[in-house]
Amino acid sequence: MRGAPPVQMACGREARAAVAVGLLSATAAAAFFGWLGWHAQWPSGLIVATMAAAALLAGAAGGWRVKRAGERRLAWDGRTWALDGIAGEVGVMVDVGSWLLVRHRSVDAVVWLPLRLRSCGASVHLARAALQAHAGRASAGAGLDVNG
């Protein structure tokens, strides 16, 4: 079986991902402060106000952080996955058709990358083929040990 040809993709700057991270951050913060206020037996008005403030701040901070992240280059050269030149393993964590959440694991870091196939700068077919056929493959012969 032949492998997918080399492909480069732009990823990391996705408005929908920023919104999703912001909503998730807001929900988590509101739930935490709601639980804290309930546990401390605060008045219900104070609990609601604290939950709203925490949700606004966490949502804005989470969305801003993702939106501020620069564009990254994910590349498959036929043997090795690399993110901005750093070799590692790639895994497709969420695949909803035209949008994917990809995880790049190198020796030093784990980076989560939102990837919209239609705007990644590569052919949709080549990008999907490389990601699905070669996800989880580390750099061949580079001595990369991402589990250790």
Any idea where the domains of the chain sit in the sequence?
A: 7-13+70-134, 15-68
User: Half-sphere exposure (CA, 13 Å, Cβ side) for 63?
Assistant: 15
Taking 60 as the threshold, does the pLDDT of residue 72 lie above it?
Answer: yes
Residue 113's φ and ψ, nearest 5 degrees, are -125, 120
State the pLDDT at residue 21. 76
Residue in 83, 64, 81, 65 with CA at minimum distance from that of residue 73: 83
pLDDT of residue 138: 47
Q: Which strands, in side-by-side order, build the sheet including 86-95? A: 7-11, 72-76, 81-83, 86-95, 99-105, 110-116
Percent of the chain exceeding pLDDT 90 equals 22
Q: Average pLDDT for residues 117-141, to the nearest whole number?
A: 70
Cα-Cα-Cα-Cα dihedral of 63, 65, 69, 74, to 10°?
Answer: -70
In order of 9, 18, 127, the CA distances from 84 in angstroms are: 10, 21, 16
What is residue 94's predicted lDDT score, i.e. its pLDDT? 86
* Residue 139 pLDDT > 70: no
Closest CA relative to residue 7, chosen from 60, 61, 67, 82: 82
pTM score of the predicted model: 0.64
Q: What is the pLDDT of residue 12?
A: 66
Mean pLDDT throughout 29-43?
Answer: 94
Is the pLDDT at 1 greater than 70, yes or no?
A: no
Q: What is the mean pLDDT of residues 20-29?
A: 85
